[in-house]
Amino acid sequence: MVGKFILAIHAGHNASVCVGDSSGLIYAIQEERLNGEKNYWGFPKQAIQACLNYVGASARDLEVIVHGADAVFCRYHARDDILKSYRRQETVAGLLRQRLAMPLIIGLRRNYGRDTLKTLLAAEGLGEVPLAFYDHHLTHGATAYYGLRRNALDRYLVLTCDGSGDLACASVRIMGGSGMEEVAVTPWENSLGALYSWVTYLSGFVPMEHEYKLMGMAPYASERAAAETADIFHAYLGLDDRGLSLRRKTLRRTNDIHARLVADLKNKRFDHICAGLQRFTEDILATWTANAVKATGIGKILAGGGVFMNVKANKRIAELPEVKSFEAFPSCGDETLPIGAYYLEATKRFGDRAPLPPLKDFYLGDDLDEKETLAALQKSGYSYERPNDLAETIAGLLADGHPVARCAGRMEFGARALGNRSILADPKDLDVVRVINRMVKKRDFWMPFAPMMMAHRQHDYLQNPKKLPSPYMMMTFDTKENFRDLIAAVHNADLTCRAQILTEEQNPEMAAILKAFDRQTGRGVILNTSFNLHGFPICRNAADALYVFRESGLQYLNLGTFIVRKSYATRLS
């Protein structure tokens, strides 16, 4: 029997899996959502089974299994293992391992780790399924191009940038129209992402996880402090003569620059370091992008790779006068490599017979099972009801000042909660930040929450002259003079916000809540943050949602079609 499904996997940091066929992407899930370990690094055993279960497939139903990188690093790493790997680079043994052994192994063995992956797949009964591999940065580019393109006949400038993958850390490509052209590739030794991660580690945070916290602190420092500290980082890394590849200005690779960082940043204030690093990042990415537009004549830009999770840098790029349009693929770290690998393989196998549709939305995970939801509610002991008008009920609670957790519809993929696994609140009251943090989030005091609004209301709150789409919270925007209407969902230092601009087609149920809230308050914007306990993944199903509800100070939960209240009174209806 010939299989019909493509199973795509990422066995590494933030392991994940997706499945699709000739009609498009069907289902995707990160391993963290199933085992409860945030950013799980290893073989995605449970996620593989979840994908097969979702489409009712076994090994014989698979055409191929694809992996979004040539090299595979699927040995399990706990968070502390990552910290140890940074700490040991300060020892002689660690330096020899990092600077000599690993680069030599990876350079000589582009297929590093494949045998281990094949063994692990065989243990899952998938050993006879053909296995294919795609280059890491080509895969990042494919996520952006196939996932976000508007017209297959248009040519797009596709940029990728991350820590490293398959001996590269950045690339410039032209995709679409008559085919694909690789314009420039940056070797991994000149990594902007690695530099940002080292500063994250030296600031006391977890690299490859907490970089966003430095970005969030950056606007609190003065312009002068940001510019002065940025000069330190500009001395490490710049662009080549063409301006299309990153090139380091030091003898040591950016991966090995930590000793100099310690010396150069000594006695610098934490906020000044964050501001300088962020300014440098925006400067180099914006210049690189402008050069690429000039070299190719293409102003429509799509982006992928973990560095483009930097929503402030994305804003800077999008504002360049030579940029006509800009979008970064949602949650564009390595967790989305399977999506790009699926796109590449599907295009190769199906081609023009079945043109792949771009993303309609990013709700790619599990929906709630009604039977399981009712069973979990009955077991919980909480009061619950099924309102006649769920959207109006939720909007009423929000308007009365109550945060409401929401677990309904299909789960979002990736790092951003997009309304279906979210905590919602009225953003007009700044104190709601304190309330939500005390209840559940325990978020760093300087980090902002984000607003959600309908597309037809965006220009009432945001400055978006190019009318750029933002359905996945991958860019920040300047707010308008009425920023106090969403003050709890803007950055307190620079009044920007990481907005989710929603259309009704993407999420009709969440759109109904936004419209109901608008009718009740006259404000078309709601605060949105992820529904999870601090340090844990976003919740997945009814059991997860009720666990977070029980372990937090949240008082109201929208679970499927139900409203749950933190009361042990009898069931309301």
- Distance CA(406)–CA(547), nearest Å, equals 13
Look up residue 322 and give its two tokens: 């030579």
Matching residue, tokens 């690695």: 194
Q: Is 479 helix (H, G, I), strand (E, B) or coil?
A: strand
Q: In what order do the strands lie in the sheet with 16-21?
A: 24-30, 16-21, 5-10, 62-67, 131-133
DSSP conformation letters of 41-79: BB--HHHHHHHHHHHT--GGGEEEEEESSSS---S-B-H
Residues 308 and 474 sit within 8 Å (Cβ to Cβ): yes
CA atoms in the 13 A half-sphere facing the CB of 446? 15
Residues 536 and 36 sit within 8 Å (Cβ to Cβ): yes
Nearest one of 339, 393, 333 to 559, comparing CA atoms: 393
**What dihedral do alpha carbons 416, 278, 234, 266 form, nearest 10°?**
-120
φ and ψ of 296, to 5 deg? -105, -20
Look up residue 320 and give its two tokens: 């360049």
CA distances from 499 to 171, 395, 458 (A): 27, 19, 9
- Distance CA(571)–CA(565), nearest Å, equals 10
5-133+338-353: what CATH class? alpha beta
146-328: what CATH class? alpha beta
Look up residue 201 and give its two tokens: 């580690």
- Distance CA(78)–CA(36), nearest Å, equals 12
Burial class, 252, CB count within 10 angstroms (exposed 0-12 / middle 13-18 / buried 19+)? middle
- Distance CA(524)–CA(527), nearest Å, equals 11
- Distance CA(108)–CA(53), nearest Å, equals 38
Residues 563 and 390 sit within 8 Å (Cβ to Cβ): yes
What angle (nearest 5°) sits at the alpha carbon of residue 384, between those of residues 382 and 385? 170
Residues of the chain with CATH 3.30.420.40: 5-133+338-353, 146-328
CA distances from 405 to 448, 525, 539 (A): 18, 16, 11
Look up residue 564 and give its two tokens: 């749950």
Residues 311 and 216 sit within 8 Å (Cβ to Cβ): no
Nearest one of 375, 37, 81 to 206, comparing CA atoms: 81
Nearest one of 425, 421, 403, 404 to 413, comparing CA atoms: 421
Helix, strand, coil share of the chain (percent; to 5): 45, 20, 35
370-565: what CATH class? alpha beta
Residues 124 and 134 sit within 8 Å (Cβ to Cβ): no
Matching residue, tokens 């969902």: 489
Residues 49 and 7 sit within 8 Å (Cβ to Cβ): no
- Distance CA(412)–CA(191), nearest Å, equals 30
- Distance CA(52)–CA(266), nearest Å, equals 52
- Distance CA(72)–CA(551), nearest Å, equals 37
- Distance CA(457)–CA(523), nearest Å, equals 9
Q: Is 167 helix (H, G, I), strand (E, B) or coil?
A: coil
Matching residue, tokens 């419209």: 515
The whole-chain average pLDDT of the chain stands at 94
Q: Is 181 helix (H, G, I), strand (E, B) or coil?
A: strand
Residue 1 has a pLDDT of 36
Look up residue 450 and give its amino acid: A
Pick out the chain residues at pLDDT < 50: 1, 568-573
CA distances from 323 to 289, 326, 456, 538, 567 (A): 9, 7, 23, 34, 53
H/E stretch holding 316:
helix 311-318
Q: Alpha helix locations (H) across 149-269?
A: 192-202, 211-217, 223-234, 258-264
CA atoms in the 13 A half-sphere facing the CB of 382? 24
Residues 82 and 207 sit within 8 Å (Cβ to Cβ): yes
Residue 179 has a pLDDT of 85
